[in-house]
Structure 1
Amino acid sequence: MIGKRIGGRTYYYLAESARVDGEPRVVGQRYLGTAEEIAGALAGGGSAPGGARHRTFGDIAAVWGTLRRLDLVRRVDAVVGPQRAKTTLGLHLALAVLHRATAPGTALGEWWSGSAAQDLVRPRPPKAAVTTEAHWRALQRLTPERITAIETAIAEAVLDLLGDDGTSALAVDVPQFAAFTAADCTLPSACQDVLAGLGLVVTRDGAIPLSSRIYRREGGAAPTFGALAGELGERYPATGLTLVFHSGQAAQLDLGARSGFVGSLPLADHPELLTQPASLRRRVDPERFAGLTAIDTRAVVDGVRRRVILTHSATLHAAQSRAFADELSTAVRELDGLAAALAAGTHRGDRAQVRSEIARVTRGRRAERVLTTTLSGTHPGGLRLTWQVDQAAVTRLVDEFFGKQILVTDHDWPVAEVVTAYRARTHLESTFRWLTGPAAVGPRPRWEWTRHRIAVHTLVSVLAATVTHVMRREADNAGMNLSVGELLDQLCGIGETVLRYPSTGGRPRARRILTDRDPAQQALYELFGLAEFAPDQLSR
């Protein structure tokens, strides 16, 4: 126990010592109080808390612990070089990533003042350094060259962490990355969103971002997927880069001449696969992909016989069935309304206009496949509409299309690994929705999203995705198959209660206590080593 003389009073701390580089050092302190307070506590007369507040602990501790394992602060500062600022650019960027991963919808300063981060982050930055203004002022020093070098340095840390598991990578496109909008639109031109897509190189194991390339989507500025993949391959010249694409991008690629890919094909392009009996499908991996079955076969794609995998997801099938029921109900209701208006004479359009209305109701919907409409009469006022649902067509649609995808690849990976690679894009889209929301809004007053500010925002978002996907991979390897949002929600449930005690002549005291944890939270607590950050382990 050690005592510190402050303002004429002695305050006692329980000190924890250990040898550091062969020398004894104090590595932790726990505040006990004054001599009178300690005596009162021993006699059972300790003072009651004067107030309490609750805040999340698990998410901040787990993300900060992962940032430390990746050594982000040191690696960024090594890229930047010597700095005079007390709060280095590496620490500024680490705080920005921690904030984006755990509280993306809040202002940086408000988050810092009310979160557990200020008790976990060491070295603790001055309060004036953790504001939105100071944050963006510091990040102005992130030149394009530094951004690229930082991505490379963190990618090296990820690959060191993964070892042999990180030797192959995927090239993925996330076209719905973000919409950047002004915080305060005073001019009509300032209210126009900047729509951005993001090309990524990610690890095959865990879909952890290694390199990125942001592009504008509007005005015909978006690159073709083939060109984007080529650029990503040049920026990350690792062996085993596999292109991942969805069915809408398949037409941009010459799969007959390409190697190293996993993607999906339009279902209508291979009707012979859709009619294969369900009895031929085999379960893929009941633990990782509940309800997913597949047929592993071959088909001609762009003139070359390729390996194709027809998958069927019970979950997707159920979701599409519900959506189809809603679509059909809506179409029927609108056709009923149109038929009633024609019969009552309140719709006076001619035959061409009515046919156009019928086409509008059914166009582009699966309902068009199963609805048969008959328009009788020739003149306005005498037109009549009848319709019927073809139940046989409904059965064919449900049996042949619902829940199915056709994957194509030139790899001989197990089916489960092909599915995992293809779903990397879905996981990344989900992660970026969590991190950026529907739109990235700058701080007030009116904020102009310059090219540099968008690049900085993208770097922070990509690094936040990197950290959270490292965590998601570790949870998945421990048998917890969670999305990033689900993982962080579970960690948020590990809370902390701060008890505030009234002053007895010195500074007010506070005691931090973690909330009870359910089995899933306890598993995550142990997986991410959160005991290191628990209140008893922190200096007071």
Structure 2
Amino acid sequence: MIGKRIGGRTYYYLAESARVDGAPRVVTQRYLGTAEEIARAIPGDTAPDSARHRSYGDVAAVWATLERLDFVRRVDALFGTQRAKTTLGTRLAVAVLHQATAPGVPLGDWWAGSAAEDLVRPRPPRSALTTAAHWRALRRLTPERLAAVEATIAEAVLALLGDGTAALAVDVAQFASFTAADCTLASACPDALAGLGLVVTRDGAIPLASRGYRRERGAAPTFAELVEDLRRRAPSTGGGDITLVFHAGQAAQLDLGARSGFVGSLPLSGHPELLAQPASAREPVDPERFAGLTAWDTLAVVDGVRRRVILTHSATLHAAQSRAFADELSTAIRELDGLAAALAAGTHRGDRSQVHAEVGRITRGRRVERALSTTLTGAKSGEIRLTWRVDAAAVARLEEEYFGKQVLVTDQDWPVAEVVTAYRARTHLESTFRWLTGPAVTGPTPRWEWTPERIAAHTLVSVLTATVTHLMRREADLAGMNLSVRELLEQLGGIGETVLRYPSTGGRPRTRRILTDRDPARQRLWEIFGLGG
């Protein structure tokens, strides 16, 4: 190290000497600074000039999954040479990364506050990271390109999972809502509900193919039509036919006596003989995967044919339904009390038919109607009186026979746990899409500019995001961590990164990155997704 005195101060340089033509010479030197600057640069003695905190774990895990799928290269290979600085493959990868980790945050704000700028390569220019630029770029996705992208990512998923991947067909009727594009005022445009039919893997409910549809003005396909369309769209899964998954409201549209390959639920009211079975008839399904879930596996006549039915009881669902019923009953009682008081005080002057209609409105709902008994006395307006009572025996029957129960039907010979897993695929997907496409999701401005093309592009990004996050959820589940997509991403999002920026001692300022402490669950996820490098 050598010092040079300039203007009364000494500045130090790190010098390297060597013999040149037999004489010692300084061949390289690097500026270090003054003595004070060098002291501040010694680890432990230097205070950073600035610090900022940003999300890391969720962004890093999603990006690592995209890289495992070879997402950018596979998508770009579909389109050949592209003149844009940011290719469609990178565009879609960033869109998926953004929607998975911050669906309600504008694209540019999310990029500045996350570790994406250090992970995404090639790094998009700042001008590409705006909502407007995002939508302009996605206009290049024609219907044919949308289908091709979905198919190539499905191939990547199947390649990761290996041969013999069985598939399910499900309907997510409440996928999202969009404001119609042919309106001049947003207030005059009712939201158009969109549904989504999906082919997903049986293991992990990972989307492979999709068909979006609108649900207004009678445009929605019947469930049977949707199923047939999904069969045509489905990629080769390497393992048998596609199993149809349906809920109780859709059962009436299907002739289960003639159909094969299905898992669904039936209306509870159609099988009182099953509901009357004592709790002792049920056995635990899988205490580790389904805590508090018991089932009775038997046969029953469904659409004229004896089918395998499974009566399940969930302690968690029972508790939730019991709380909801208590709230409904309390609300009805409060309104009946108010109506009775108004009749007694003479402030309600309706005739008997009007009062009867009001009582019917208050007690509307099968469960409340069964539990409340009401009596009207008097015939003339001003003389009518109302009394009511709670039928404790009816409440007990509801608790014993209905709460927490489902009747599943299938023609598959899978273990009960696998039947339950297949049926719950739709529930998991609905939960995922509520998280990804909720009202806070960033879209076109103003909101009524949702054109069919934009809806199609947004649907593709949402489906690809569900594909990536459900693949991650499957990996966590295989490692013993049974989490929903939202829970998984929230846990990963709790792994933050603090970036410390130190003053320059010559050249570029020095930066140091420190990750937040990780509890055992986050440390396990860190290891599962290989975030330690």
Provide the TM-score with structure 2 as the length reference. Answer: 0.90
Which structure 2 residue ranges, 5 or more long, are not aligned? 1-11, 16-29
Check conservation: 2:75, 2:88, Cα contact below 8 A.
Answer: yes
Distance 1:104 1:165 in 2: 34
Q: Could you say what secondary structure the match of 1:457 adopts?
A: helix
Letter in 2 for 1:376: T
Q: Which residue of 2 aligns with 1:523?
A: 524
Q: How does 1:114-513 map to 2 (within 5 A)?
A: 114-164=113-163, 166=165, 168-181=166-179, 187-188=185-186, 191-236=189-234, 238=236, 239-438=240-439, 440=441, 442-445=443-446, 447-504=448-505, 506-513=507-514
Q: Which moved more, 1:473-482 or 1:76-85?
A: 76-85
Letter in 2 for 1:521: R
Q: How does 1:29-178 map to 2 (within 5 A)?
A: 35-36=32-33, 40=39, 46-164=45-163, 166=165, 168-178=166-176
Check conservation: 1:312, 1:405, Cα contact below 8 A.
Answer: yes
Q: Which residue of 2 aligns with 1:25?
A: none
Q: How many residues align?
A: 503
Which structure 1 residue ranges, 5 or more long, are not aligned? 1-8, 13-32, 533-540
Q: Structure 1 residues 82 and 399, CA, compared in 2 at 3 Å: closer, same or farther?
A: same
Deviations 1:370-416 (A, max 9, x none): 11111111100111111111111111111000000000000000000
Distance 1:192 1:11 in 2: 71
Deviations 1:288-346 (A, max 9, x none): 00000000000000000000000000000011111111111111111111111111111
Letter in 1 for 2:229: E
Q: Could you say what secondary structure the match of 2:449 adopts?
A: coil
Distance 1:179 1:42 in 2: 55
Distance 2:124 2:461 in 1: 19
Q: Structure 1 residues 367 and 446, CA, compared in 2 at 3 Å: closer, same or farther?
A: closer
Deviations 1:479-537 (A, max 9, x none): 000000000011011110011223446443321111111111111111101012xxxxx
Q: Structure 1 residues 191 and 401, CA, compared in 2 at 3 Å: closer, same or farther?
A: same
Q: Could you say what secondary structure the match of 2:435 adopts?
A: helix
Letter in 1 for 2:69: L
Check conservation: 2:135, 2:444, Cα contact below 8 A.
Answer: no
Provide the TM-score with structure 1 as the length reference. Answer: 0.89
Q: Which moved more, 1:359-368 or 1:520-529?
A: 359-368
Distance 2:418 2:523 in 1: 29
Shift in Å, 1:444: 2.6
Check conservation: 2:179, 2:447, Cα contact below 8 A.
Answer: no
Check conservation: 1:179, 1:195, Cα contact below 8 A.
Answer: yes
Q: Which moved more, 1:131-140 or 1:382-391?
A: 131-140
Check conservation: 2:186, 2:448, Cα contact below 8 A.
Answer: no
Q: Could you say what secondary structure the match of 1:220 adopts?
A: coil
Distance 1:41 1:182 in 2: 61
Q: Structure 1 residues 43 and 135, CA, compared in 2 at 3 Å: closer, same or farther?
A: closer
Distance 1:481 1:471 in 2: 11
Deviations 1:35-83 (A, max 9, x none): 4599647855753102211111000000000000001101101111221
Q: Structure 1 residues 277 and 445, CA, compared in 2 at 3 Å: closer, same or farther?
A: closer
Q: Which residue of 2 aligns with 1:21?
A: none
Distance 1:263 1:285 in 2: 20
Distance 1:36 1:250 in 2: 78
Q: Could you say what secondary structure the match of 1:423 adopts?
A: helix
Q: Could you say what secondary structure the match of 2:398 adopts?
A: helix
Q: Could you say what secondary structure the match of 1:328 adopts?
A: helix
Q: Which moved more, 1:255-264 or 1:228-237?
A: 228-237
Distance 2:385 2:436 in 1: 53
Q: Which moved more, 1:342-351 or 1:260-269?
A: 342-351
Check conservation: 1:306, 1:410, Cα contact below 8 A.
Answer: yes
Letter in 1 for 2:233: R
Distance 1:196 1:281 in 2: 39
Letter in 1 for 2:116: A
Q: Which moved more, 1:281-290 or 1:331-340?
A: 331-340
Q: Structure 1 residues 136 and 305, CA, compared in 2 at 3 Å: closer, same or farther?
A: same
Letter in 2 for 1:75: R
Q: Could you say what secondary structure the match of 1:531 adopts?
A: coil
Q: Could you say what secondary structure the match of 1:218 adopts?
A: coil
Distance 2:117 2:460 in 1: 23
Distance 1:380 1:394 in 2: 33
Letter in 1 for 2:134: H
Q: Structure 1 residues 511 and 362, CA, compared in 2 at 3 Å: closer, same or farther?
A: same
Shift in Å, 1:240: 2.2
Q: Could you say what secondary structure the match of 1:411 adopts?
A: coil
Q: Which residue of 1 aligns with 2:5?
A: none
Q: Structure 1 residues 44 and 285, CA, compared in 2 at 3 Å: closer, same or farther?
A: closer
Q: Which moved more, 1:321-330 or 1:303-312?
A: 321-330
Distance 1:60 1:442 in 2: 21
Q: Structure 1 residues 48 and 42, CA, compared in 2 at 3 Å: closer, same or farther?
A: closer
Letter in 1 for 2:330: S
Check conservation: 2:102, 2:110, Cα contact below 8 A.
Answer: yes
